[in-house]
Each structure stands twice: as C-alpha cells, then as structure tokens.
Structure 1
Amino acid sequence: MSKNLFLGLDLSTQQLKAVIIAEDGSVVHETAVNFDRDLPQYETKNGAIHGAGRGEVTSPVAMWVEAMDILLERMKKEDVELDSIMAVSGSGQQHGSVYWSNDAENLLSNLDAQNNLLSQLCPNAFSIAQSPIWQDSSTTAECEELDNAVGGSQAMADLTGSRAYERFTGPQIAKIRKTNPKGYEATARISLVSSFMPSLFMGKIAAIEMSDASGMNLMNVLTHKWDDKLLTACGGPSLRQKLGEEPAHGGTILGKVSQWWVKRWGFNPDCVVAPFTGDNPASMVSLSTLGDAILSLGTSTTLLLDIPPSHTAPARFTTSHLLAHPTSTTAFLAMLCYKNGALAREQVRASHAESHWHIFNERVEARSPGNGGYMGLYFPLIEIIPPNVHGNFFFKHGKPISEAEFPAEAHPRAILESQFLSIKARIAAILPKDAPRLRRLILTGGSSQNETIRQLAADLFGLPTYVAETKEAAGHGGALLALYAWWKEKNGGSGTFEELQDQLGGSMKLVASPHDDVTQIYDKIVDTYVSCEEQVVSLA
C-alpha cells in the first residue's frame, strides 16, 4: 500500500461504505456494512423505517453508530493500514438530521478505547432516537409556513437555492419542534448525517459543511451564512445555537481524530478530519470539474451542473436546486430532478419497440434529429419538472395532436429528445450569462451504457460525452475531499481542487462526440419544446 492513505466514508440510506485511496487518487480498498443484512435487529427495510404518521420515514441513529463499529472491525480484519490514513472525509445522504443530547459533547470527548461507540453513545448521546431522512414527506404544512415566512416559494428559492421541500432539514426541524417539544428542548446540537460522522471521529460535534447545508432551507446560498429569519421560523431563538457555527468550507480541516481512534484502532494521531458533504456534492467531486454536467440516467433522471465562478449568480427556480460548491467558495452546483426517467423510457420501449433495447435503438436511429417535427412528452408518474403534470402529450411543429396522429415509429426518438430538451432549456436558464461554456457531459446510471442514447445526448447538448469508471462515486468523492484538505494544508493553505485533479489525472472514458450540424438542429427547436411544455402545464 501507499505510505499515505485517505479515507472516504459514505453513509447512504442502505449502507455505510468506506473507500480508501492512495496519494495518486487510485482506489486501494473498499469495505461496506449493509444495514438490512448486517444489522437486522433494527428492522429496517432498505435502511429505513416507515412510521405510523403519513409520510414519516426515519432511520435509527444507533444503527449508524453500530455500523461504524462493524466497519472498523472489518477494515482491521482486512489488514487495512489504518495508521497510514492521513485524512478522513466523506458524504452522507442529504437532508437527514441527528439530534444530540446535552450529554453528547461530554460522552464524545471521553470515549474509552476499551469499549465500542455503540455502548458509550447510545442512547444517552441522542435526544431523539430516530433520525428523519430524505424519504420523509410528512412536513407539507411546515413547508407552506416556511415559504410564507419569506414571501413565497420563489423568494425562498432565491434565498436558499430551493423552495421549501418536505425532505429538507428546516421543515423537519420545525415539525419536531411542533410535535415533540420535549425532544426538541432536550436537543443541544443538531447535525446533518454528513456532520454527524466527523463528530464521531473528532470526539466533538463538527460544523455542518456549506454544500450540504444548502439542502436545509436554512442557509443563504449566496453568502453561506445561516439566515436568522429562517432559523426563527423553523426552530425559534435557540436554533442558531443548536446548529453551531456558520457552515464550514470544503478543503479546510476541522481537527484531528480523537485519542479513541488512535488507541482503539491504531489511527495516526496526526490524521486530520475534513468537512463531510452530501452525497450529490461528493459525487460531483468524484466525477467532474468546473464546467461539467453530470446526467444520471437511472430510475429517475438527475442533472448536476458544476458551475464555474462568474460575476452574476446563477438563476434560482422553484423546480431546481442551487447549492454551494463543496470545494470552492465562489462556484455553485445546480441540480434538476425528474421522476420520469427510466420508467418512461421503458414504457415506450415496451409499447413501441417490442420490449427490446436493440429495436428501440434501431427506431431512434431510423429517424432524423428533430423527429420530423413530432414531439412527445411522457409522464407516467406525476412529474416534478414541470410540476404536477401526468400523462402523455403529443405535438407536431408545436401544435397539439392526438396519439393516433403520432407515428408509432417516432416514439423512441421522441422520449429521448423530449427528456433531454427539457434539461437543455433549463441549463440555459440557470447558467449566468457570463458563465464559461460547459466543457463536457458525463453520463451515469443504467442508460449510460446505451450507445444510441450516448450519441443522441452528445448531439443534443453539443458536448463531448464521457462515462465514469468509478462506481462508488460518493465514497470516492469523500476520499478525494480528504486528500484535498491534506494536500492543501501541506501546500500552506493554497491550491485549488482543480490543480489537485490535474496532478491526479482522470478516470473518464470518451464515448461520444457531438456533430455540430445536428447540435444546430436541436438548438433551433428548444423554444418549440418550451412552448409544448407550457401547453402541457396549462392543462395540469
């Protein structure tokens, strides 16, 4: 193994994963604990527990603590050189929150190396045993109240980067304060899942990192500071103290591992702890650099934009998210999330390509870019972007037509073009006018392996298109954040993440290059698509 190693942890919904990289960025070890399989006593399903209340979804915080104990035991048995780990960082499922008791700081700072974390922290370190997670949708009333407190959903998006969402941490805190006042009163500090983990490593409660704080509806996304009006609306006058200091910047160092890690597991006493971020920002760190777009073509469709610094801030919308950047104080991440991804594509494949991808691909390629003026918008699930639309809608040259008038062989190309045109239109709206042009498109998810989809994406977006060789993007991104903080300190506090990436090289494979003449065709029909979508929304 390399002399210097860097540990990235990813606490996702279903598992706790460790990814260890060497100083050159190469992955040297991976270990995981699956919650359902390895910790069945907590009776989770896919890592979560659905509560009695409508939309309530939580995870036991004790399960996460015990998973950390098991993970370290496995790493030790697998002969990982823990004393060679120079820095630790990672990622957590976004929006989830952990509630520390008044005894937590004392318990964390006085851990006995003869005993594990679970026996010393649970239950006494936590005021609330079940942590609300991103799947929770029980806070609709709190979201409405929070939006109204700042002048509406667009005002909230302008301030925090997103309108109030049920899964976001601010509305979750507001609900706990309302429905469990004793638990809230007994809470000394509140962490995100991402700041909960470095707290275990340092033996004291860690600051929340600014990119992950963007998913709380509590931070001003432009200044990276807590907003007092939102804090008061969600948690009253005590919430600022419960959240602690202002959000931490990526690439900084929070502290060193506590003596418990040194004595129990043999960690290097000089091993530093960097801020942990959310899973989406960590994936960006692993997969992209400034000016990249990541398009995840999974069950849902998610676009992440790595927006370089510019003189004007990116636009904020009620249907998208703007986040602070995990490695830069002047750059941003933008995120679009669509429900109807692979499900819609697979339905078209089933109904118009005999359920075979090779037939689907043949029918896409048999029709010219722009599909002869035919557009189809497909929403088998109630969509988020555009909001609340449901069903299939068909157009020719921007005018509505019936499905019977729509050529059967046009559906495969139509589903791809409409999904990608929706994204293309919104990229143009989000990016500042003076922002540099996007550099490349990176595809992930199941459909990223489809060569026809790769080429259509390259042509429509007009970007060279890559796929990543990294499969555990969030954990790998966490390890890179650890390396970055250590590398930056070694350089006297100077150096950008992009400079480090240049030294490491990449793990991207170019899979499609755009044809300029085809891209021009798509550029000309973006406005037509927008008109069709507006007509669909007017019917919703």
Structure 2
Amino acid sequence: MAPTNAPEPLFLGLDLSTQQVKAVVIREDSTIVHETSVHFDNDLPHYKTTNGTYHGPGEGEVTSPVEMWLEALDLLFDRLHKEGVSLSSVVAISGAGQQHGSVFWSAQAEGLLASLDAAKSLRGHLFPGAFSIQRSPIWQDHSTEEDCKVLEEAVGGSQALADLSGSRAYERFTGTQISKIKRLQPKVYASTARISLVSSFIASLFLGKFAPIEVSDASGMNLMDIISCKWDETLLNICGGPQLREKLGSEPVIGGTNLGTVSKWWVKRWGVNPECIVAPITGDNPATVMSLSAPGDAVLSLGTSTTFLLSIPPANTPPKRFTTSHLLAHPTTSHGQIAMLCYKNGALARENIRNKYANRDWAEFNKRVQGTPPGCSGYMALYFPLPEIIPPGIQGEYCFKLPSAESETPKQIEDIPPEVHCRAILESQFLSIRSRIAAILPPNAPHLHRLVISGGSSANPVIRQIAADIFGMDVYVSSTKEAAAMGGTLLAKYAWWKIRNPDGSFEDMTGGEPAGTTRVAKAHEEESKIYDELVSIYTQCEEQTIKSSASAA
C-alpha cells in the first residue's frame, strides 16, 4: 500500500551519462511529472572536464572524476527539491548508468556509506575516503589493448570469449579495465574493497550499502557467463585474480528485484519517502530498450553512429554469439537476451554521400532515393569513411555489379552510376544489419514485430520507409526524448508493481506496448521480398570487401 503521505505514487529514474546526470519523475500511468538535469561541464566547471571527461595522462586513458558525480547528484536533488517535486511521494527509484564505467571503493567505504550524515552532502561525507581510485575509467577509454590480448589468448581466442561472455574483448569493457589496474597499480587494487559499475554505484548511494551489479549491465564486463548470468570463475581469475569475486560482491541481479529502502540520509536531507524502495539500476542501452520497445521489437538509433538493439525472448537454443556484435542479458526477462550491433559509420557516411551526390541537400537526396528502384538497378556499394567496427577495421568505398544469375557472384567495379549512390548507402547500411539478425536469432524465432527508430535521421520520411521495407517491419518513433532515464523510471515502477504482482512480468505491467510510440512507415510487401533476396548477396559483397581490404593492406 502506498504511504498515506503519497496518495499519488511517483517513480524516479536517473541517467548518469558521460556529460550529465538526468532525473525523470513519472506517475503510475507513466506520464512524466518532472525532468531536470545537471550538465557536468556547464554546471560544475571547476572540475575542468571536457564533455564530462579527462583524457590522459596515459595514452588512450579516458576517465571521469567520482567527486564530480557525487556533487552532481547533490545538485540534482537540490534542484528537484527547489523545483517542487514531491520527493515524499516517490515510492521507487531506479535508473541507468553509462555502460562499462567502474568505481573502485576503499576499505572505509562500507562504513562511510552506512553512516551518511544528513548535515553533509554526499561529496562532503564520502570523498575522498570512500574511494581507492578518484578517477573512474569510462567507456571511452581505449588503453587496455595488452589486457584484451591476454584475456582472449587465455580463453582460446576472441570467438571463445564471445561464446562465453557475449562479446569479444573490448578495451572499454570493465574486465580488462580491472586487469590493467591490477597489473599497473597492484597496491591500489589490493586496497580496493568493492568494484561497482556506474549503475551499481548509484544504487549503493541510495541504499547506504554496496548494491549488487545488475545482470544486463554485467554483460558489458567480459566477466559473466552470458547464458547462466553468473560470474565466470575463469574470467574472474584472468582479469582480477582470486580476490575479484569478493570485490564484485554477489551474483548479478535481475531487474524488478527489491534491493531495500533508501537510507535514512535521503529521508532526513531531502524528505524522500522512508518506504521508497531501490531497484537495480541498469546500463543506458538496456534502459533504452525497456523504454522504447517490447519483446519482438527492435530499436535502431540513427545518430552519428548506428546502434541496433534487439530483444530476444527465451528459447531452447541460445542465440549465436559473434565477435562483431554483443549479446547482453535482458534486464527483466530471465534467460532473455538483447543483441546489440554498433557501427561507426552512420550519419557521417550518409552526409558524405548527400554532399557529393545531392548538392548537400536532404530534399535532393530523398528525391534521388525515390527515383532509384529497390536493389539500385543491380548495383550495390559499401561505404566506410572511418575504420569500421562491423566488419572490423574496413575503410574505403567498395562498389559492385550484382549477378544476373544465382550461380554468379557480385563483381567488384570502380564505381556505380552517380544517381544510385543515395539509395545505395541506405540499402547497404540496413542490409548489413539484416544479414546479422538472421544469424543471431535462434532457429524458429518468431518474426519481429516493430522497428522503433531514434536519432537525427529518424525524422527523414524517406529513410523511415527504406528501413520499413528492408527490415520488413512497420517503423515507429517514440515521443520519449530521454529514453535511458525513462527506462529507469519504468524499472523503478516495475519493482514497486512486482511487490503486488510477484508472478507478473514487465510486459504484464506495461500491457506489452511501450508508451508514446507512433507508426510512421508501413512495410511494402513487394519491396520487402526484393530485399529478402538481397541479404545473401550483400553478405557476398561484404566478404569480397574484406578480402580486398586485406590484400591492399
């Protein structure tokens, strides 16, 4: 039952991202009551960060000051209080944190968390004594190449690591970050009592004790068995030695778990409801999935980079793992997963083609796309102005004439007709994703329902329609602007709802439909059939591209 001083329960979700921390408050019907944020560079300029980060001193090192995060949370709640948010009505808190970032707690941290003094700010009480490392490694860090090589070699290669943990070794992933600190700063590592992700760091502050790591965010560490969702002893020992299990705490926990109520500090200092529960906080990408999609949906972010997120329901046969994609545990569905594909060449590549072949004008670009038939009159081109992630390391432009008979293969040519490029770049970018969906999904997986798109290019109606036709799904856009924070509020609401509905699922709570989505394009069946035939041809073109790139190196 909601407390008598909160006739209308509210739910709070935070998003601690690279550049800011945001708060979203919703009602039980999921309508937004309030939003506020603290921008690190603008609101806390004394830390002298650039986009919330420090670069160096070592090559490839990118960190953020933990002290800044603490002060930002103090300021965020000060703003919520001054802006009239009824914190006494908040019955559950969850959120999202930038993935892969890590916080290293000292031996004194547990006692300091348990004895938070309401007369002091979080920063004043916890910093610096609660931390063995004052600058947290974050997802932009790329200083752990040596540790990645050691990890992959120890388990039998990149594919073996992907099969076990869901991803090959990545420099930004937490396991290799821990390995580097143990290798270069052994005394600091030995003095570290607990290691949190950014997500569980936030939850620990609310609880006044160490919070467990959430299962989906744990997937971005190269430390968890992606199928059992338990810490893997071999990976732990490679990255952190026999001490690492204790430093990570209990096994990862699934969303909807009630971790306990907020510590008295939040009640006394900010008037938060003393019965407010704290739910596991997840990573920003999984939170976005929870906000924008339902099982059977996919999320396509068309920003500077391209990110594709696909919820995969539990199946007897687990999804295949690849060295070019990520498999994450689902935040709320036991034995469910999220497949994630990340491409570096997104908007930049599209803009390059627009500038070169459409007079730098999107209207002209759209006109040229619509003037070219599906399949580009038998041509295909792959565009990588920057070294790509998928396929790895490929750079340049590769053009092909498609075969006229099934027994033939695509023929690499110097260029394709100028008027074809605008459609060709959309087809190649989306066919790359299509070709990998089929490989990842388990056999007999149900057909995907909807494609929810976001990012700058999602406003282009022609791009929306091409996406609908290539993926064979109706395309939707969401009215939600702060998807990760909104996903966090829904996870808070889910933990509260689940106390009253212990056997219910997240989809039972939401009705299986994400709020605030609108259909903006309907797949054309005839065009989709054309693209179904082009998936395997795209794969052949990509294979030739990889060979051409290798021979030219």
TM-score by length of 2: 0.96
Preserved contact between residue 16 and residue 68 of structure 1 (Cα < 8 Å): yes
CA shift at 1:505, angstroms?
A: 6.2
Q: Give the deviation of 1:98 after TM superposition.
A: 0.1
The answer to whether structure 1 residue 519 and structure 2 residue 524 are counterparts is no
What does 1:119-130 correspond to in 2, within 5 Å?
A: 119-130=124-135
Q: Distance in 2 between matches of 1:117 and 1:154?
A: 43
Does residue 157 of structure 2 align to residue 152 of structure 1? yes
Residue 35 of structure 1, CA deviation: 0.4
CA contact (8 A) 2:175 2:239 kept: yes
Paired residue type of 2:463: I
In the alignment, structure 1 residue 419 sits paired with structure 2 residue 429: yes
Measure, in 2, the Cα distance between the counterparts of 1:374 and 1:2.
Answer: 63
Among candidates 408, 412, 418, match of residue 408 of structure 1? 418
Aligned to 2:478: 468
Correspondence for 2:548: 539
Identity of aligned residues (%): 61
CA contact (8 A) 1:311 1:434 kept: no
Q: Which runs of 4+ in 1 moved over 4 A?
A: none
CA distance in 2, matches of 1:87, 1:53: 41
Aligned to 2:73: 68
Letter in 2 for 1:508: T
Indicate yes or no: 2:461 matched with 1:456: no
In 2, Cα distance between the equivalents of 1:343 and 1:529? 21
CA contact (8 A) 2:372 2:423 kept: yes
Q: Please list, as runs of the form range in 1=range in 2, the aligned pairs for 1:342-357 lying within 5 A after superposition.
A: 342-357=347-362
d(CA) in 2 for partners of 1:153 and 1:126?
Answer: 33
1:400-432 superposed Cα distances (whole Å, 9 cap, x missing partner): 34444x100000000000000000000000000
In 1, Cα distance between the equivalents of 2:162 and 2:513? 36
Query: CA offsets, 1:437-465, max 9 Å, x none?
Result: 11110110000000000001101111011
Q: Are 1:399 and 2:410 matched, yes or no?
A: yes
Give the whole-Å Cα distance in 1 for the aligned partners of 2:305 and 2:120. Answer: 43
**Match for residue 486 of structure 1?**
496
Distance 2:11 2:206 in 1: 14
Name the SS of the counterpart of 2:334 in structure 1: coil
Give the Å deviation of 1:503: 8.0
TM-score relative to the length of structure 1: 0.98
Equivalent of 1:497, from 497, 500, 506? 506
Alignment partner, residue 22 of structure 1: 27
CA distance in 1, matches of 2:514, 2:133: 44
Counterparts of 1:135 and 1:503, CA distance in 2: 34
Matches within 5 A, 1:230-245: 230-245=235-250
Show the counterpart of 1:247.
Answer: 252
SS in 2 for 1:208: coil
1:441 is aligned to 2:446: no
Does the Cα contact within 8 Å between 1:462 and 1:519 map onto a contact in 2?
Answer: yes
- Say how many residue pairs are matched: 538
User: Amino acid of the residue matched to residue 367 of structure 1?
Assistant: T
> Could you tell me how far 1:266 is from its partner in structure 2?
0.7
Asked if 1:47 corresponds to 2:58, the answer is no
**Please, which runs of 5 or more residues in structure 2 have no aligned partner?**
1-5, 403-408
Q: What are the equivalent positions in structure 2 for 1:374-389 lying under 5 Å apart?
A: 374-389=379-394
* Structure-1 separation of matches of 2:241 and 2:341: 31
What value does the CA root-mean-square deviation take over the aligned residues? Answer: 1.0
Residue of structure 1 in register with 2:199 after alignment: 194
Q: Distance in 2 between matches of 1:131 and 1:60?
A: 6
Output the amino acid matched with 1:149. Answer: A
Deviations 1:8-46 (A, max 9, x none): 000000001000010001111001000001111111100
Distance 1:72 1:13 in 2: 19
1:435 is displaced (CA, Å) by 1.7
Give the unaligned 5+ runs of structure 1: none
**Amino acid in structure 1 at the alignment position of 2:295:** L
Q: Which letter does structure 1 place at the counterpart of 2:506?
A: F
Letter of the structure 1 residue corresponding to residue 464 of structure 2: R
Letter in 1 for 2:22: K
How far did residue 307 of structure 1 move? 0.9
Out of 185, 210, 213, the position equivalent to 1:208 is: 213
Structure 2 Cα separation of the partners of residues 118 and 519 of structure 1 = 55
The change in CA–CA distance for 1:503 and 1:414 in structure 2 (over 3 A counts) is: closer
The alignment partner of 1:255 has SS state of coil
1:186–1:285 CA distance, 2 compared to 1 (3 A): same
Aligned equivalent of 1:82 = 87
| CA distance, structure 1, for counterparts of residue 257 and residue 470 of structure 2 | 39
Task: Return the alpha-carbon distance in structure 1 between the equivalents of residues 445 and 413 of structure 2.
Answer: 40
2:398 partner SS: strand
2:399 and 2:235 mapped to 1: Cα distance? Answer: 42
Q: 1:316 aligns with which of 318, 321, 326?
A: 321
